[in-house]
Amino acid sequence: MAMLKITDLEVSYGMIQAIRGINFEVEQGEVIALIGANGAGKTTILHTVTGLLKCKAGKIEFEGKDITKLPGHKIVSLGMAHVPEGRRVFADLSVLENLKLGAYTRTDKQEIEDTLKVIYKRFPRLEERKSQMAGTLSGGEQQMLAMGRALMSHPKIILMDEPSMGLSPIFVSEIFDIIKEISASGTTVLVVEQNAKKALSIADRAYVLETGNIVLEGAAKDLLENDSVKKAYLGE
């Protein structure tokens, strides 16, 4: 059974159909990349899966449970976390306060403390800056904070929207190394990216999205060698 299964999903904004009947699956333990140009519908898919947007048709199943109509907070408590595009940290709250907000669906204080320790170990920079206002962090640090905040819910799967957006190359590499570590520690990853090269370099499998349709799918290493992917997405 797939951990996450999307069947015939359609999503519209009024008259504009952004997602036109797509199917994809994420198995437990996989890193899946969803790549596509600006406006292809990547963010729309993540918002629909996490309950922020309602779909027009189709089905979303998480661990065999139909979550298509569940509200976002219920989906989080089932074990799904979302790192939104553009980070969206709470600028006027400290790093620690932002992290604690990520644990809002959890109640066991000791377990929350233990998760915080794990996150500080993975992101030492967040511990060094725990009292600093999040709005004063650099872009890369805010991306780390957004990831750390999502991990505070102790998710089974983490959905990341364009983690490399607006970051310098050094930070991009660091963020993708961290995604690999998150995966190695047992969390399933679905990452949406315009930076196809980086995303394919860390993913197991990938789906290529064009104007609301999945046009290609396969092992990430095969897509890296695919001529049309090379031309359209890898600048080769």
Q: Does 12 bind ligand ATP (CB under 6 A)?
A: no
Taking CB under 6 A as the criterion, the residue among 22, 24, 41, 129 binding ligand ATP is 41
Among the residue ranges 40-48, 108-116, 131-139, 146-154, the one whose residues contact ligand ATP (CB under 6 A): 40-48
Taking CB under 6 A as the criterion, the residue among 16, 109, 121, 169 binding ligand ATP is 16
179/123 Cα distance (integer angstroms) = 12
195/129 Cα distance (integer angstroms) = 28
* CA 101 from centroid of its chain's CA atoms: 18
For ligand ATP, the closer of residues 115 and 164 by Cβ is: 164
59/142 Cα distance (integer angstroms) = 33
Tell me the backbone φ, ψ of residue 198, rounded to 5 degrees. -65, -45
Q: Does 214 bind ligand ATP (CB under 6 A)?
A: no
- Cα–Cα distances (Å) from 83 to 66, 80, 118, 148, 153, in that order, read 22, 10, 18, 9, 12
207/217 Cα distance (integer angstroms) = 4
Q: Does 13 bind ligand ATP (CB under 6 A)?
A: yes
For ligand ATP, the closer of residues 23 and 194 by Cβ is: 194
For ligand ATP, the closer of residues 141 and 162 by Cβ is: 162
Q: Does 38 bind ligand ATP (CB under 6 A)?
A: yes
207/219 Cα distance (integer angstroms) = 9
Task: In angstroms, give the least distance from the CB of 38 to ligand ATP.
Answer: 4
Task: Confirm if 161 and 192 have CB atoms less than 8 A apart.
Answer: yes
Task: In angstroms, give the least distance from the CB of 11 to ligand ATP.
Answer: 8
Q: Does 43 bind ligand ATP (CB under 6 A)?
A: yes
For ligand ATP, the closer of residues 34 and 103 by Cβ is: 34
Among the residue ranges 2-10, 38-46, 120-128, 226-234, the one whose residues contact ligand ATP (CB under 6 A): 38-46
Among the residue ranges 35-43, 71-79, 91-99, 197-205, the one whose residues contact ligand ATP (CB under 6 A): 35-43
Beta strands in the chain (DSSP E): 4-13, 16-26, 31-35, 57-62, 65-66, 80-83, 157-161, 188-193, 205-210, 213-219
Tell me which amino acid residue 145 is: L
Task: Confirm if 13 and 171 have CB atoms less than 8 A apart.
Answer: no
Task: In angstroms, give the least distance from the CB of 36 to ligand ATP.
Answer: 5
For ligand ATP, the closer of residues 22 and 137 by Cβ is: 22
Q: Which residues bind ligand ATP (CB under 6 A)?
A: 13, 16, 18, 36, 38-44, 194
